[in-house]
Structure 1
Amino acid sequence: MTKLSVNINKIATLRNARGHNRPDVLQAARDIERFGAEGITVHPRPDERHIRYQDVRDLKGIVTTELNVEGNPTPDFLDLVREVRPEQVTLVPDAPDAITSNAGWDTLRHQGYLRDVVGELQQLGCRVSIFLDPDLALVEAAAQTGTDRIELYTEAYARGYHANREAAVAAYRLAAARAGQLGLGVNAGHDLDLDNLAWLHQQLPELAEVSIGHALICDALYLGLENTVQLYRRQLAPRAGSSH
């Protein structure tokens, strides 16, 4: 079954708006796991505008499923990962001033650099995933870095879903299939929601994990956090006749 990892950055954004500890990010993580999520994702940025580096340290001590830490492997980020040693590190090439992740890696151009980073993180005991656009050449180059997984950047899929969902998913289907042939695990994330998640899941049998934050937290404002986590998990339930 495809796992749901909930990105709690937006919960930290709300906390930081008032400068106190409400909502409590650690308690939210505990509750999200209790409600059925199979992982917690955080993406600390250099300005700590949402998740703080100390949050990551604290979360490592309380997350009982899997902690997935996303980020650009800058020296400060790598120092944090060396200290925390999360179960998974997702490498994302975002600029410090990016509002949110907006591009995948050019694994052809940066292959040597990524190979070095991936190797070090794996020696720490972390599973490594590389954030990637659904391009076959990039998938093949990612495999040459030694990474364990790729995370398909799904903004383009989400943007095109309502106009033509078959066309929107086509490149992702090919990329996931190629990744599977190369022995890579496949994650996905960005702009996935209750409208488009089930179709992506149905079309990508290789899909191991999705990371969802913004849409899930927005839905929780109306539907409640527990109910929302379970609704998202329901979109990932195995289909009749499915092998996953």
Structure 2
Amino acid sequence: MAALSVNVNKIAVLRNSRGGAEPDVVRAARACLDAGAQGITVHPRPDARHIRADDVLALAALTREYGVELNLEGNPFAPPRAGYPGFAALCALARPAQATLVPDGDGQITSDHGFDFGRDSDALRPRIAELKALGCRVSLFVDAGVEGVGRAAEIGADRIELYTGPYAEAHARGDASAALAACVATARQAQATGLGVNAGHDLSQQNLGDFAAAVPNLLEVSIGHALIGEALYDGLAGTVKTYLRILSARPG
């Protein structure tokens, strides 16, 4: 069964929209872990639009308390600025179990593409080595169908995270076969080079089951936007448990 890591960014969005400390990101993460989630994911942005550096440190303490993984996502090339020490520096402070590198720019609303290994490999290699020296497992955000996915292993990464946005869009249209086949093919190519496979972005109760059934040896899914939205109706605990039932019903 793939592990479920809940992304709690949206809790911080709601908090920051009003100011103050409510809703409490750590309390929400604790509720997810109490319901059985196997990890917590956050993607702090340099502009602190949602998760802040202090949240990362508090969540690092929480995940250590529970003995589960913190997955810290971010752009390793984004320069430090006030309130954001830089991705590697934040990892040095929080020591997440996993660092997921994502090529997002400041102006992006959300991550919407993976790395280009022909262009990015040389620049990524020392960043990956720096993070692994901190004890982090390193995963790289990739598009399904990306050329040269095996380069991720050559430059030191441990896993890839499949960007599942296009799959989710195709599933919503009622024809996900081609998008799903691309995910499966990329997963198999990555695994053939020794890489583990994670997945995330726009996965939901509606599309997760088909994805988890098709992608072989899926290790982890990180889900935030849909899960938090669904939890508005059904509560965090009930929603997390629904996702765990979906994952446990699938082979692997």
What amino acid is the match of 1:67? L
d(CA) in 1 for partners of 2:164 and 2:146?
15
199, 206, 227: which one aligns with 1:195 = 206
1:47 aligns with 2:47: yes
Structure 1 gap segments, 5+ residues each: none
Structure 1 residue 238, shift from structure 2 partner = 4.3
Structure 1 residue 224, shift from structure 2 partner = 1.0
d(CA) in 2 for partners of 1:136 and 1:158?
17
Aligned residue number for residue 92 of structure 1 = 102
Structure 1 residue 124, shift from structure 2 partner = 0.6
What amino acid is the match of 2:134? L
Aligned residue number for residue 231 of structure 2 = 220
d(CA) in 2 for partners of 1:108 and 1:81?
26
Aligned residue number for residue 102 of structure 1 = 112
* Residues 5, 212 of structure 1: 8 Å contact kept: yes
C-alpha offsets along residues 173-225 of structure 1, whole Å, 9 cap, x if unaligned? 10011111111000000010011000000001221000100000000001111
Relative to the length of structure 2, the TM-score reads 0.93
d(CA) in 2 for partners of 1:180 and 1:83?
31
Alignment of 1:1-244 (within 5 A): 1-63=1-63, 64=66, 65-73=68-76, 74-75=78-79, 76-161=86-171, 162-239=173-250, 242=251, 244=252
Relative to the length of structure 1, the TM-score reads 0.96
Q: Residue 138 of structure 1: SS of its match in structure 2?
A: coil
* Residues 116, 146 of structure 2: 8 Å contact kept: no
Structure 1 residue 166, shift from structure 2 partner = 1.8
State the superposition RMSD in angstroms: 1.1
What is the count of residue pairs matched by the alignment? 241
Q: Which runs of 4+ in 1 moved over 3 A?
A: none
